[in-house]
Amino acid sequence: MGEGHTCRLHNRLLTSLADSNMAIRCWKHVLPGLRASLFVRLHAEVGPVGKKRPMPLLSCWTRNYLSEAYQLRQEWEARLRSPIIQKIQMEDFFFSLDGKFKSSGKINAVDLDLFAVKAEGGEQLEELEDLLHRFRRTPQTIYMLPSTQYSVVRTFLEHNQTEALMRILSDRINYGVFPDHHALNLIMDHCLLNSNTRDAARTACLLMLQEDYENKISCYLGLMSCLKYIKSPNPEPWDPELQAHAEEESKEDEDEVKVRVPFLARPYFDDHFDLREWKPMVGKTLAWVSGNLELDANDPLMSSCQLLGHALWGKWDIVSSLSSLQSYTFTHDAVEEMKKLRGEDEGISVKGHIEEKSLQKLVEERLRAAIAERGPVDMKTWRENLETWEAIRRRELTRQLAEVEIRQRLDKVEKAKKELVRKEREAFFYEREEQLEAELERRIPRRRGPAPPHIAKIIERMKRRKSLRQTDDYTPPTI
């Protein structure tokens, strides 16, 4: 029996067996292989006898594509056992970093990394977002550690803060977080598991924007995320930040405001980073990601993604040329979706072969094959990365402590030198009296009008001393 059929049977049974009496009467007719799992779900979903509550009928449709081993949870949680991390008190640590920003306007990259690694839910996630935004505006942003960006993703995912995470990832200029392949895979898998197809598709669009198609698992997960969003966009809208900004502008007064500008910039649309709507972004992701998977041109997955992607992107000249190729094979759902976008009046006839298997099913098969082939290699690579990042963190912290110690020693030397200069001036004051007086005259600012009283007294005293000073033609009186 297929897995999809099993899930449908579970849902039907749970709906009809919500009443406990009916459950007892129908229990004997349940398939033997489903009794154990059905009993567990009945106890968890329906509850005790006589109590009813709504059940999520689509819960069995959401599942992980990535295994528990691939997510490296044990290796990630091992970071908390580090002696460096255990010594950190998060409240005091944030206030110290905030004080550094206010006093010197910068912090070290390793300090931000330690905060991202140790951060937990609640206010600490907001503080982490604030630190990332301020750190991005300092010259030290070029020294951001790769472990910092990975830690930000995992920390926000652990607390299911995907909306805040997508706000950070979408604003790369102000936050500077560029996730690696393993982090992107975790985001898409987490979002698909929670039926959040919107954030999964937005994460897939990051691959297209960065033109990063090196990891096959990331590419196929990106295609799956886009296809699921096309089929079931959830939640809405596509970009909450953009919608909120548009609503604020609509609430403002409609009075015309004139602003003086040095010159008028010509309107330019690069058709890449300027994309904001979901259709061109998802369509370009389907077209570009599938085009870099090194597949045959007549592969049904390749041709169907190209057809549907360019249709969503609005490149109808490319869609027409693809549809006219008789050697290509397209899936039936991709063709139907393309015709729906084009409209019945201006339909495009597809001359190629039609594949009965759905495009999403083809992508899922290739995804599972890529995970089986590439998964162990990725796990080994990222496990080594976690160990390397821990070593880099210790090395950078040791270097920072050494720099602080050197700076403190230099400050002590400077203070000792100033003290020696002061003592020397006191010891040889009378021998260098004329030199000190000349230096004092240079230091006294020249002002128009009469000098202040205390300055006038010093000048008068210096003139009197000069008049009493011995000269060559001076003859002492005879006694």
pLDDT at 7: 47
pLDDT, tens only, 23-58: 434 333 433 443 434 333 334 334 443 333 333 333
pLDDT at 342: 85
* 254 vs 35: which has the higher pLDDT: 254
pLDDT, tens only, 257-304: 777 878 777 788 889 999 999 999 999 999 999 999 988 888 999 999
Residue 362 has pLDDT above 50, yes or no: yes
Distance CA 387, CA 79 (A): 9
pLDDT at 63: 61
pLDDT at 19: 42
Out of 144-148, 214-218, 367-371, 451-455, least confident range: 451-455
What is the Cβ-side half-sphere exposure of residue 476, based on CA atoms within 13 angstroms?
4
pLDDT at 400: 86
User: Which of 41-45, 262-266, 331-335, 469-473 has maximum average pLDDT?
Assistant: 331-335
Residue 223 has pLDDT above 90, yes or no: yes
As a whole-number percent, the residues of the chain with pLDDT over 70 amount to 79
pLDDT at 466: 65
Q: What is the mean pLDDT of residues 187-203?
A: 95
Residue 177 has pLDDT above 90, yes or no: yes
Residue 454 has pLDDT above 90, yes or no: no
The residues spanned by each domain of the chain are 3-58, 77-178, 295-357
